Amino acid sequence: MSEGSPAPYLSTIGEVQVAVRDRVATVTLNRPEKLNAVTGAMSAELARFAQWCNADDGVRAIVLTGSGSRAFCAGSDIRELDRYTTPWDFRNRVDYCDAIRDLRKPVVAAINGYALGGGLEAALTCDIRIASASASFAAPEITLGWIGGGGMSALLARSIGASNAAMMVMTGDRIDAGTAKAWTLVSEVVEPDRLLARAQQIAATIASRAPIAAETAKRNLQAAANMPLDEAIAYERDLQTVAFATEDAREGRQAFAEKRQPRFTRR
């Protein structure tokens, strides 16, 4: 465990694995035989992890990936959906995309295969997306009689534009990694054997930056997507002022003057 964290995170179920190194937590959905489809227990575990992570300075960035080479995540385990006794129970279920959204620290998705349905929503919920050349993406809910509910339409439209989002949501057809890159759904496409290392490299770079500034940048980007331009700029100025007042900002200025690497302490 990296310095600054009192104890390793202990997952209560084997289907969600967490490893922390150098302030980067790698979270692996671990049901490769089921294409890493998410169960209710896995959703609850991800929510528990988010709560722990937000409170622990031993983690400053997260990588989210899936076990095996076939899938990042194929969404919710469809066999579990009939266990909800009423539509209201289904509406108020613990949702894994909400758990990812609750993370205050930057999240990099390492998409190593199918990102389908809720798996695509989970990837879209991450801040940065890196894909394997063998990855593919789809919003197939319409082929089963419903639509996504974890932010699919809003997040897709913001990421790839209204027409491309409509193409995916209304047909349910799959797109490959090259198309995802062309549509700006992902930032990079790399060979499968380089995927996790590249995602962890990006996360490690973020983890080396001032953590309050990184969390503030994440909050600012999220807010900017929901504000008119003038309000977004004013909000950014307010957040800049908060970050500028931290000890880390003072340390950054001093390190620059002394021509050395800064030592950020999240204060």
Q: What is the pLDDT of residues 204-247, one digit of tens each?
A: 999 999 999 999 999 999 999 889 999 999 999 999 999 999 99
Angle at 220 between CA 215 and CA 226, to 5 degrees: 140
Q: Which residue has the tokens 């050395």?
A: 260
Q: Is-catalytic flag, 251?
A: no
Domain ranges within the chain, ordered by starting residue: 16-208, 211-258
In tens, the pLDDT along 86-112 reads 888 888 777 999 999 999 999 999 999
In 3D space, the residue among 74, 202, 71, 174 whose CA is nearest the CA of residue 132 turns out to be 71
Is residue 141 part of the annotated active site? The answer reads yes
What per-residue confidence (pLDDT) applies to 1? 40
- The pLDDT value recorded for residue 89 is 82
Phi–psi pair at 45, nearest 5 degrees: -70, -40
Of how many residues is the chain composed? 267
Residue-wise pLDDT for 54-87, tens only, equals 999 899 999 999 999 999 999 998 888 778 788 8
| pLDDT tops 60 at residue 6 | no
Using alpha carbons only, give the angle 172, 88, 167 rounded to the nearest 5 degrees.
15
For CA atoms 81, 84, 88, 91, the dihedral sign is: negative
**16-208 and 211-258 agree in CATH topology:** no
What does the pLDDT read at residue 7? 66
3.40.640.10, 3.90.226.10, 3.40.50.1370, 3.40.50.300: CATH of 16-208: 3.90.226.10
The pLDDT, as a whole number, for residue 84 is 78
pLDDT of residue 202: 98
> Which pTM value belongs to this model?
0.92
Under CATH, what is the fold of the domain 211-258?
Lyase 2-enoyl-coa Hydratase; Chain  A, domain 2 (1.10.12)
CB proximity list for 128: less than 8 A, separation 6 or greater = 106, 107, 108, 109, 187, 202
**Across residues 13-30, what is the average pLDDT?**
96
29-61 CB burial, b ≥16 within 10 A, e <16: bbbeeebbbbbbebbbbbbbbbebbeebbbbbb
Question: Average pLDDT of 239-256?
Answer: 92
The tokens describing 104, both together, are 């205050």
Phi, psi of 29 (to 5 degrees): -75, 120
Catalytic residue, chosen from 141, 188, 231, 247, is 141
The overall average pLDDT reported for the chain is 93
Give the model confidence (pLDDT) of 135-170 as tens digits.
999 999 999 999 999 999 999 999 999 999 999 999
Identify the active-site residue in 121, 188, 191, 231. 121
